[in-house]
Structure 1
Amino acid sequence: MRLKSLALIGTMMFLTQPALAETKPAPLAALIRQVDIPYTQFTLANGLRVVVHTDRKAPIVAVSVWYDVGSKFEPKGKTGFAHLFEHLMFNGSENAPGDFYEPLKQAGGTDMNGSTYFDRTNYYETVPRTALDRALFLESDRMGYLLGAVTQATLDRQRGVVQNEKRQGDNRPYGLVQYKQIEGLFPAGHPYGHTTIGSMADLDAASLDDVKSWFRAHYGPNNTVLVLAGDIDATTARPLVEKYFGAIPSGPQNTAPTVEIPTLAVAKSEVMKDRVGATLLLRAWTVPGVNDTDSTALDVAAGVLGGLSSSRLDTLLVRKEKLAVQVSAHNSSFAQLGTFSVRALVRPGVDPALVATRLDAIVADFLRDGPSADEVGRYVTESVSGTIAGLERVGGGGGKAVTLAEGALYSNNPGFYKKQLADLAAQTPAHVRAVAAKWLSRPVYALTVEPGAREAYADAAVPPPAPVAVKPEPPVKGTRGAMPPAGAAIDLTYPKVERARLSNGIEIVYAQRGAVPFTRAVLSFDAGYAADVAGRSGTAKFALAMLNEGTVARDATALAEAKERLGAGIGMGMSADRTSISFSAPSVNLAPVIDLFADMVRHPAFTPAEVERKRAELLAAIAQEVTDPGALANRVLPPLLYGAASPYAKANGGGDPAAVAALTRDDLIAFNAAWLRPDTARLFVVSDRPLAEIAAAFERGFGDWQAAGARGVKRFAPLAPTTPRIVLVDRPDSPQSTILGALPNTLAGTDELLPLITANDALGGGFLARINMNLREDKHWAYGASGSFQRIEHAAPYLVSAPVQADKTGAAIAELRKELTGYVGAQPMTQAEFDRAIADATRSLPGSFETSQALLGGMQNNDLWKRPDDYYATITARYRALTRAQVEAAARAAIDPARAFWVVVGDAKVVRPQLDSLGLPVEVIPAASVATARRAAGLQE
């Protein structure tokens, strides 16, 4: 029953009564009715199509511009042009010279980015409503007044950035699979037959005339959809859009290429080798695109086969037969066709041929028998639930503006999402089986990726392009007048945070947010990587993972099925200081979700067979980590930075494989008993439901939970002195090097770091920061580089991250050292940088806390950093009280370049000679030994 009296007790409450009775999941129709994005649309005389959606929950407007041009329009020899132009359009236009982000950052823009794929190029930003004029001016200027600002220097710079983006993707384990899959499925010359990133050779060959001709042919207003979503209405929007876009003339009309869904004449099978930790099996087919009714049935088929946690492949290959450690199936729907893929990562020690046989048999069984009604229902419920959660955001890469723009561009209907939901709700087992059999019974493309030395591939052999002489060009003259001002600042209205306490003492930290009928909650324990067992690194992760592998009442499959029926997402994670178990779910299902959540947390079964299965999966994940450049660097860094005896040195991915292999069921149970217990727990909740109802529901699930035995203890000491040096992790055949730099200091995360966060805005904290502008925009040696204070409870070192092309590794570290030294020396933060940082920090706050997920994160940060609940309500005043002198002094005190040491993951035969010239000791360790050879680089436990 609902405890109405709780609302009268105030901000701190104590509960002793049982709460809500268990209920069944809400009907699917009730969930679907909650998905609604009303809109108005109009078209300008030049063909620009405009869609407007009003959402007054926050004083922000999402601006989303979608061009009907993607890689499918690229002719032979010009692959990668659409994506290259996406980059060029961020580098200033005739009336807004300089970087596109600069004026938006001054205005407090959030969610600023762009992307390119087969069918489209899109740009998006969310701005305070007072900055909408500026955003529309900027978007219209790069649509209609761009080419005068595109120079040879700009082209060369962004070509280099794109090529490093490609190297960064290629450098990852299985990074070459996408090329093989596309080549295997599509005939030469097919519009979908090459990747969006393009080839190195085609990017090198792109001339200034080529790219300007490409723009003139494709980027007119008549090939564009503009969506405005948020604190705006059509009556206000229309004159603004006319003002900024109306004078841009129409261009040539894009015509979608003729596309056939190719069918292989016979099944095709290939094998490739790569430096990976486990064999990957891939099966792929071409299928219809988003506008074909079959695509929805294929979505369901993919979910049932390998998308749901309870999928056929998970249940059979992973849980029951223990032949694979990871499986997936996915239906990728594009505008004119799609691809359907199934993947399985073979369990180490198992014959890949056996797994391939079982994989194919499971798919064949599915095509013969189809899914059950329960499987279809679970997939549909989970999908609709995810849609509801995603529509809380008005913009960014996946909110309401994106939903409307996709419908308008791909299907000529901004409300196409409603048709998709109706199609989804109408799916039956027989229909899904028939559609899946129709498309997946055709000849398959099969790829096996085996561990071994990476095979040579064409793009790796392309040398850097010869520099093109840059001709002097006259400066661009503005023709549209001054850029609109950033507009008046709008202060953040931060919701009231309330507190309650369950009968057993667990505190609830709560905020109400009613934009969507959804509840998000995090049960946070004072544990984290720092609580891991000395000498048995990996215990904490192993023990936490077992909570998802079955309870006393439900096995792992039944647990997954129960979550899916409720549309609930339940996740687990660890930071340095906290271990968290979280859920998100439609609020109509709140009571049964909390019952399920409590069962997982309080009654994990630790079934011996499941312990052994999870052990094998974790060991396979560790094997994968030592093939991934980022994971390698993050394994090596902590003991170097904090000292081998520090609790923080245990933050090393999946842990020590020898320890994970030796852990017993009793070890895991003991760890959970010591750390995941009510006296280390705090609940954080954001919901549209009132606190009284939330508290009563959690009281039912957790109120009688009592701790037993001794609580775990973490012991911290001052950081051990570090020696400046370079630790090089040798990873052969790496086209890029991953650089991590660390600068120790005496700070703690609980210190007031606002002056340092402000200082870092100009050094490493964003796209416009010096580190990124140097290595990406000036040198184009990297796709991105950054620096930040790694804020954890008892420390806050400054870390620098820069994946760079291999031949520039040494030079890149030299540039990073120069930037760090200059920033705390002769080139401190300028007044312009300071003003920009303060303007961005204060003006962006309404957009930064748009979603309940962001609010939930802020509440947890306040708790960890020991700040008051109203910290963010007062943060604007705190920023405005800062002076540049304070910020500079804080940076000088916290950043000491002389103490920096560096971890580099790259090909030693290429990188070592560069590093030897930097004046620091260089220590080399092989990548394969990182997880086991603790002797190197101070890595012993």
Structure 2
Amino acid sequence: MIKKLNLLFLLCASTTMFAQQVEFEEYQLDNGLDVIIHQDNSVPVVTVGVMYHVGAKDEAPGRTGFAHFFEHLLFEGTKNIERGEWFNIVAANGGSNNANTTQDRTYYYETFPSNALELGLWMESERMLHPVINQVGVDTQNEVVKEEKRSRIDNAPYGKIIYATGINKYMFDKHPYKNSVIGTMQDLDAAELEEFKAFFDKYYGPNNATLVVAGNLEMEETKAMIKDYFGPVKSKPEVERVQITEKPITETIKATEYDSNIQIPIKAHVYRIPGMSERDSYVMSMISSILTDGKSSRMYKRMVDDEKVALQVLAFPRPMEDYGTYIMGALPLGDTPLEKLAEIMDDEVNKLKTELISEREYQKLQNKFENQFVNSNSSIQGIASSLATYHVLYGNADLINEEIDIYRSITREEIKEVANKYLNKNQRLDLDYLPESEKEQK
């Protein structure tokens, strides 16, 4: 059935809004593949994306990094695409492609001129139907992943915070979220070829995937091609989902992490929050914006502009399917003690817990989220990604338009209530993130 949605957005940062109608159709093939098609013939491009409901949390103990590894491995080649030719084919046809992995899902996509739609469908069906998984590809991508880990995490300033490798291990005891998405090189080195093949067989079935096609297309013609290319793929046994409940954090977790790539430390407070589809998670996104989003945020104005105790403030809300984390912190200016930063952060949190934000600040907050919502769906590629994400992780593709209504319905009183519920000292990680040189001095 075709679902007509209203995508509301702001014009020129004003509160004047009008509705743009977006249409998409959802259905399922006999093999369990979920399909979402969005037609927009005003653009000359088309995006073909496949999101598999497998991420780092689905990995076996001692085999971390598999989900992210497959993001690389499945570009190696297929039965009908020679090794090393994937990117050449895409580029030769005027397209672009990429993939990304989170704790919860893996997403592959190509964006082509619209006359190459069939090529995109064929390539993604090739990836699903018969990729070549051999030792040459595993060894090659093992080196690629090692270099990515070195450049993005090991040798990147504040890499343990940006990628949560120095955080989640404290926030989760039993849940696989405690592991990093990129995993450990020891686990990947120790894995046998048959383990990689088994991972594909378990998670890369059509009944664990959602295909999204968006852009300049003809609906019935596209459906026919989807059936031709993806219909023959056999379904696989249903995936058993991770269902692990963490005990609440009831005492402050004190920790220190060191980074050889930094000169300026960070004082960070990290809180565990509900999964991304929970209403409280939406409220926490608004709280994050109030405290640390941009130069007009409360912590920036006070700590950077007014009191000049911080060089910068930061926040990394990390919504995930089962749980989320909210990281807030600051970099000291000059000789400001980290505990001084902690004191001010707590004071700003306490204000949220005891006072309603002003009507003016509330309206500004609403405008900001309106703009963010519009920008996330301002391109065909963005719409495809949003449709896949909302369907796979939230169970409701309609959120591509309806999610903004959730933010609109959040009240000032609710912001105060949720701050009191989650932002408490005995429910957090208190992290000192220091230069490696300070470790040597101790």
Match of residue 427 from structure 1: 410
* Aligned equivalents of 1:215, 1:360: Cα separation in 2: 46
Match of residue 130 from structure 1: 115
2:373–2:404 contact (8 Å) kept in structure 1: no
* Cα drift, residue 447 of structure 1: 0.8
Match of residue 145 from structure 1: 130
* Aligned equivalents of 1:235, 1:218: Cα separation in 2: 29
Match of residue 216 from structure 2: 231
Equivalent residue runs for 1:472-621 within 5 Å? none
* Cα drift, residue 455 of structure 1: 6.3
Question: Higher strand fraction: Structure 1 or Structure 2?
Answer: 2
Q: Residues 602-656 of structure 1, C-alpha deviation per residue, up to 9 Å, x if partnerless?
A: xxxxxxxxxxxxxxxxxxxxxxxxxxxxxxxxxxxxxxxxxxxxxxxxxxxxxxx
* Equivalent of residue 246 in structure 1, options 213, 217, 231: 231
1:50–1:227 contact (8 Å) kept in structure 2: yes
* Equivalent of residue 386 in structure 1, options 367, 372, 380: 372
Match of residue 26 from structure 1: 14
In structure 2, what residue type is equivalent to 1:328?
L
Q: Does 1:298 align with 2:281?
A: no
Alignment CA distance shift 1:252-1:207 (3 Å): same
Equivalent residue runs for 1:209-228 within 5 Å? 209-228=194-213
Match of residue 116 from structure 1: 101
Q: Residues 519-544 of structure 1, C-alpha deviation per residue, up to 9 Å, x if partnerless?
A: xxxxxxxxxxxxxxxxxxxxxxxxxx
Alignment CA distance shift 1:370-1:191 (3 Å): farther
Alignment CA distance shift 1:310-1:40 (3 Å): same
* Aligned equivalents of 2:23, 2:311: Cα separation in 1: 44
In structure 2, what residue type is equivalent to 1:248?
V
Q: Residues 68-114 of structure 1, C-alpha deviation per residue, up to 9 Å, x if partnerless?
A: 1000101210100001111110000112122321211111112x100
Match of residue 334 from structure 1: 320
* Aligned equivalents of 1:452, 1:192: Cα separation in 2: 26
Secondary structure of the equivalent of 1:37?
strand
Mark the structure with the bigger radius of gyration: 1
Match of residue 419 from structure 2: 436
* Equivalent of residue 46 in structure 2, options 33, 58, 61: 61
2:300–2:313 contact (8 Å) kept in structure 1: yes
Match of residue 322 from structure 1: 308
* Aligned equivalents of 1:71, 1:455: Cα separation in 2: 31
Match of residue 8 from structure 2: none
Q: Does 1:192 align with 2:177?
A: yes
In structure 2, what residue type is equivalent to 1:41?
E
In structure 2, what residue type is equivalent to 1:216?
D
* Aligned equivalents of 2:388, 2:22: Cα separation in 1: 12
Match of residue 521 from structure 1: none
* Aligned equivalents of 1:454, 1:42: Cα separation in 2: 57
* Equivalent of residue 270 in structure 1, options 221, 241, 255: 255
Alignment CA distance shift 1:319-1:262 (3 Å): farther
Alignment CA distance shift 1:370-1:49 (3 Å): same
Decide which moves more: 240-249 or 370-379: 370-379
* Aligned equivalents of 2:223, 2:144: Cα separation in 1: 37
Alignment CA distance shift 1:200-1:453 (3 Å): farther
* Aligned equivalents of 1:203, 1:172: Cα separation in 2: 21
Q: Does 1:42 align with 2:30?
A: no
Q: Does 1:75 align with 2:63?
A: no
Alignment CA distance shift 1:262-1:322 (3 Å): farther
Q: Residues 764-807 of structure 1, C-alpha deviation per residue, up to 9 Å, x if partnerless?
A: xxxxxxxxxxxxxxxxxxxxxxxxxxxxxxxxxxxxxxxxxxxx
Secondary structure of the equivalent of 2:177?
coil
Percent identity over paired residues: 30
Q: Does 1:358 align with 2:344?
A: yes
Equivalent residue runs for 1:615-694 within 5 Å? none
In structure 1, what residue type is equivalent to 2:334?
P
* Cα drift, residue 42 of structure 1: 1.3
TM-score under structure 2 length normalisation: 0.92
Q: Residues 267-319 of structure 1, C-alpha deviation per residue, up to 9 Å, x if partnerless?
A: 01112333312120111111112211111111111100111431110111111
Alignment CA distance shift 1:377-1:256 (3 Å): farther
Which 5+ residue runs of structure 2 have no aligned equivalent? 1-10
Relative contact order: is structure 1 or structure 2 higher (C-alpha 8 Å, sep ≥ 6)? Answer: 2
* Cα drift, residue 41 of structure 1: 1.2
* Cα drift, residue 180 of structure 1: 2.0
* Aligned equivalents of 1:60, 1:175: Cα separation in 2: 35
* Cα drift, residue 418 of structure 1: 2.8
* Aligned equivalents of 2:340, 2:321: Cα separation in 1: 37
* Equivalent of residue 447 in structure 1, options 409, 431, 437: 431
Which 5+ residue runs of structure 1 have no aligned equivalent? 1-22, 457-941
1:306–1:314 contact (8 Å) kept in structure 2: yes
Q: Does 1:176 align with 2:164?
A: no
In structure 2, what residue type is equivalent to 1:383?
F
1:300–1:379 contact (8 Å) kept in structure 2: yes
* Cα drift, residue 239 of structure 1: 0.3
The alignment of Structure 1 onto Structure 2 pairs a total of residues equal to 424
Q: Residues 452-490 of structure 1, C-alpha deviation per residue, up to 9 Å, x if partnerless?
A: 43869xxxxxxxxxxxxxxxxxxxxxxxxxxxxxxxxxx
Match of residue 839 from structure 1: none
* Aligned equivalents of 2:251, 2:167: Cα separation in 1: 15
Alignment CA distance shift 1:105-1:54 (3 Å): same
2:258–2:435 contact (8 Å) kept in structure 1: yes
Q: Residues 213-270 of structure 1, C-alpha deviation per residue, up to 9 Å, x if partnerless?
A: 0000010001111111100143221101001000000012223211325422310111
Q: Residues 167-210 of structure 1, C-alpha deviation per residue, up to 9 Å, x if partnerless?
A: 112201122332221111110x4121111000121111111001
Match of residue 810 from structure 1: none
* Aligned equivalents of 2:255, 2:411: Cα separation in 1: 35
Secondary structure of the equivalent of 1:453?
helix
Secondary structure of the equivalent of 1:38?
strand
* Aligned equivalents of 1:168, 1:24: Cα separation in 2: 39
Match of residue 309 from structure 1: 295
* Cα drift, residue 380 of structure 1: 2.0
2:349–2:419 contact (8 Å) kept in structure 1: no
Q: Residues 36-87 of structure 1, C-alpha deviation per residue, up to 9 Å, x if partnerless?
A: 5321111110011111111122221111110010001012101000011111
Match of residue 144 from structure 2: 161
In structure 2, what residue type is equivalent to 1:449?
Y
Secondary structure of the equivalent of 1:445?
strand
* Equivalent of residue 368 in structure 1, options 346, 354, 374: 354
Secondary structure of the equivalent of 1:176?
helix
In structure 2, what residue type is equivalent to 1:98?
R
* Aligned equivalents of 1:217, 1:301: Cα separation in 2: 39
Q: Residues 17-45 of structure 1, C-alpha deviation per residue, up to 9 Å, x if partnerless?
A: xxxxxx99633xx43x4465321111110
Alignment CA distance shift 1:436-1:330 (3 Å): farther
In structure 2, what residue type is equivalent to 1:374?
R
Match of residue 91 from structure 2: 105
2:214–2:380 contact (8 Å) kept in structure 1: yes
In structure 2, what residue type is equivalent to 1:427?
I
Equivalent residue runs for 1:693-772 within 5 Å? none
Alignment CA distance shift 1:163-1:424 (3 Å): same
Alignment CA distance shift 1:452-1:356 (3 Å): same
Match of residue 201 from structure 1: 186
1:278–1:348 contact (8 Å) kept in structure 2: no
* Aligned equivalents of 1:51, 1:180: Cα separation in 2: 37
* Equivalent of residue 94 in structure 1, options 79, 93, 96: 79
Match of residue 468 from structure 1: none
Secondary structure of the equivalent of 2:51?
strand
TM-score under structure 1 length normalisation: 0.44
2:369–2:404 contact (8 Å) kept in structure 1: no
* Aligned equivalents of 1:24, 1:79: Cα separation in 2: 46
